Amino acid sequence: MSSEPLLFHRRDDGVAVISTNDDPLNRMTLEYVERMEAVVEHIADDDSIRAFVITAEGTTNFSVGMNLKQLGQGLEQAGGVDPFFDQRLRLIARIEQMGKPSVATLFGYCLGGGLELPLGCTFRLAAAEGAKIGLPEMDLGSTPAWGGSARLAKTVGRQHALDMILRAKMLTGPEALAIGLVQEVWPLAELKDKAIELAAELAAQPRLAVKGMLDALHDAEHKALEELLAAERAAVHATMGTPDATEGMMAFLEKRKPKFNQTDEEKR
């Protein structure tokens, strides 16, 4: 196995795949966070990548979270508690706000950072069997520190979030689906393929329109209607007259499936 903390692969369909490379635990080590920051920036800057999948090697665990044995080293290197955790918050916020859809796969243990990072993704798909999804920091005498409490509450509501966090509960894939924590559940053997299929579907959509909607609906539940309408109008202006808008109209009139992002293909 490669010693790289994560593996990165760019496919020919506009999809990139990031895979944690620490099977079977797939811990989010200090080296992983550093490398992940660089890879996420690369994805953000590369117009030919229009969607990405965050997964992990093997089929045992997505991630047991941070390597706690490195905590002291990490705090020393960062210069304190706040700078240490701020780096992780920046990473997840970058994934969440870059304007490109992301799909996370949840299987086996998805604990601590192993749930907090997927909470920054656009979509989460879980395994139908064997998943144990949660924020168990209470059992360590602590609390979530990578934005988990805030994003979990925004995703599933305050009461479900408190139930999971205060009781250190771990949910199965079907239980996570029932409260809206994940969007789809698939057999473990199919999970990664289904995540890539979803990312490919999203990558085939018009890039600027997708970005416009991701930007417009970011934090939508806490914005006034007028602010959301203004963001929608900005997305309309950003897509008017673009090659994708022309292609979409022509495809509709010609009764065929549109082929978007052709200008992105030419950049490769």
User: What are the tens digits of pLDDT across the range 60-117?
Assistant: 999 999 998 999 999 999 999 999 999 999 999 999 999 999 999 999 999 999 999 9
Residue 2 confidence (pLDDT) above 70 = no
Domain with CATH 1.10.12.10 in the chain: 207-266
HEC profile for 186-235?
A: ECHHHHHHHHHHHHHHHHCCCHHHHHHHHHHHCCHHHCCHHHHHHHHHHH
Q: What's residue 267's pLDDT?
A: 43
Mean pLDDT within 196-205: 97
* CA separation for the pair 99, 255 (Å, rounded): 29
Whole-number average pLDDT of the chain: 94
Give the model's confidence band at 3: pLDDT under 50 very low, under 70 low, under 90 confident, else very high: confident
Domain with CATH 3.90.226.10 in the chain: 6-203
Residue 24 confidence (pLDDT) above 80 = yes
* Residue 143 C-alpha from the chain's centroid: 22
Residue 263 confidence (pLDDT) above 80 = no
Output the six-digit token pair for 70. 């490195």
* Share above pLDDT 90 across residues of the chain, in percent, rounded to a whole number: 91
User: What are the tens digits of pLDDT across the range 149-170?
Assistant: 999 999 999 999 999 999 999 9
Which of 54-85 are b and which e, b meaning 16 or more Cβ less than 10 Å from the residue's Cβ?
bbbbbbbbbbbbbbeebeeebeeeeeeeeebb
Instruction: Determine whether domain 207-266 maps to CATH 1.10.12.10.
Output: yes
Give the model's confidence band at 268: pLDDT under 50 very low, under 70 low, under 90 confident, else very high: very low
Give the model's confidence band at 1: pLDDT under 50 very low, under 70 low, under 90 confident, else very high: low
Residue 201, class by beta-carbon neighbours within 10 Å (0-12 exposed, 13-18 middle, 19+ buried)?
Answer: middle
* CA separation for the pair 242, 224 (Å, rounded): 29
* CA separation for the pair 112, 167 (Å, rounded): 14
* CA separation for the pair 264, 219 (Å, rounded): 28
Give the model's confidence band at 219: pLDDT under 50 very low, under 70 low, under 90 confident, else very high: confident
Q: What's residue 266's pLDDT?
A: 41
Closest CA to 261 of 11, 13, 9: 13
Residue 125 confidence (pLDDT) above 80 = yes
Residue 54 confidence (pLDDT) above 80 = yes
* CA separation for the pair 119, 113 (Å, rounded): 9
Q: What's residue 221's pLDDT?
A: 82
Lowest-confidence pick of 100-104, 128-132, 159-163, 232-236 = 232-236
Q: What's residue 264's pLDDT?
A: 56
Residue 144's CB is within 10 A of a number of other CB atoms, namely 22
Q: CATH for 6-203, among 3.30.450.20, 3.20.20.70, 3.90.226.10, 3.40.220.10?
A: 3.90.226.10
